[in-house]
Structure 1
């Protein structure tokens, strides 16, 4: 069986001095290896092919029979690593909290413990008949959310 640790080391070697970052590596019991990478400006198919060939050059098919899939994290998919939050600062995201609230807003900031999203909320202002939309920053701890993902808009 192909060891996940081995694949991680190979991918990390390839990533050195590149602007790509690792999102996830999965190795199933039947030796299907799935590697997801990402980049601030998107992932090029040529780079996925290059990484795939690099991994294959480091693994011995005579010893292990495996299936290899290398691709991007996928637009519209939930964020899996902190770097994805950094890359989407200033962009609109969708958040689903553990208590079931679904919110849309602009990702304002992120660090290792939390992230901040600017959300438009209806606020009743004294003297006005109707509530008005007002920007409000809301802070989330990663443990309190089910997912955050880039919101694709066709406006």
Structure 2
């Protein structure tokens, strides 16, 4: 019951801010509420405060004791929502597929069913000695991705 009322308040808060979306939500046994959000344009401290107030100001601490944590998805957190892929177009992703294949490439396209990764690799020349740079692509359905995260390069 407590979880349902918190989720309803969270959904109402997110409905007021269409640029924000839910990545993870849980209520632990000791009534610790953990919410992880992300945004199409990133997440500011003010965004976390907005969601916190949407929940906290509508719950009565006299009825239910709780603690509340509102977090933004970290830069290296795994991507779990299709909207997270769209906001990371042009960035390098590390992807592990359900068939245990590891890929790393630039995310160039995202639609409702799949993503497209592109990368360059050096391969032996078809004729003669030496190597040539070849552009590769992989089209991956969301169902075939077991884990994906942004690669931070310095």
Which category of TM-score, normalised to the shorter sequence, fits these structures? 0.7 to 0.9
**Root-mean-square deviation over aligned CA pairs:** 1.8
1:82 is the counterpart of 2:85: no
What residue is the counterpart of 1:101 in the other structure? Answer: 101
What residue is the counterpart of 1:6 in the other structure? Answer: 5
1:116 is the counterpart of 2:119: no
- Comparing 22-31 with 94-103, greater Cα deviation is found at 94-103
**Separation in 1, partners of 2:48, 2:22:** 12
Deviation of 1:27 after TM superposition, in Å, equals 1.4
What residue is the counterpart of 1:58 in the other structure? Answer: 58
Deviation of 1:128 after TM superposition, in Å, equals 4.0
- Comparing 89-98 with 116-125, greater Cα deviation is found at 116-125
**Separation in 1, partners of 2:52, 2:95:** 32
What residue is the counterpart of 1:139 in the other structure? Answer: 139
Normalising by the residue count of structure 2, what TM-score does the alignment of the two structures yield?
A: 0.88
**Separation in 2, partners of 1:36, 1:122:** 40
Name the CA shift for 1:8/1:114 in 2 (closer, same or farther; >3 Å).
Answer: same
Normalising by the residue count of structure 1, what TM-score does the alignment of the two structures yield?
A: 0.87
Q: Give the 3-state SS of the residue equivalent to 2:12 in structure 1.
A: helix
Structure 2 unaligned residues grouped into runs of 5+:
none
**Separation in 2, partners of 1:141, 1:89:** 16
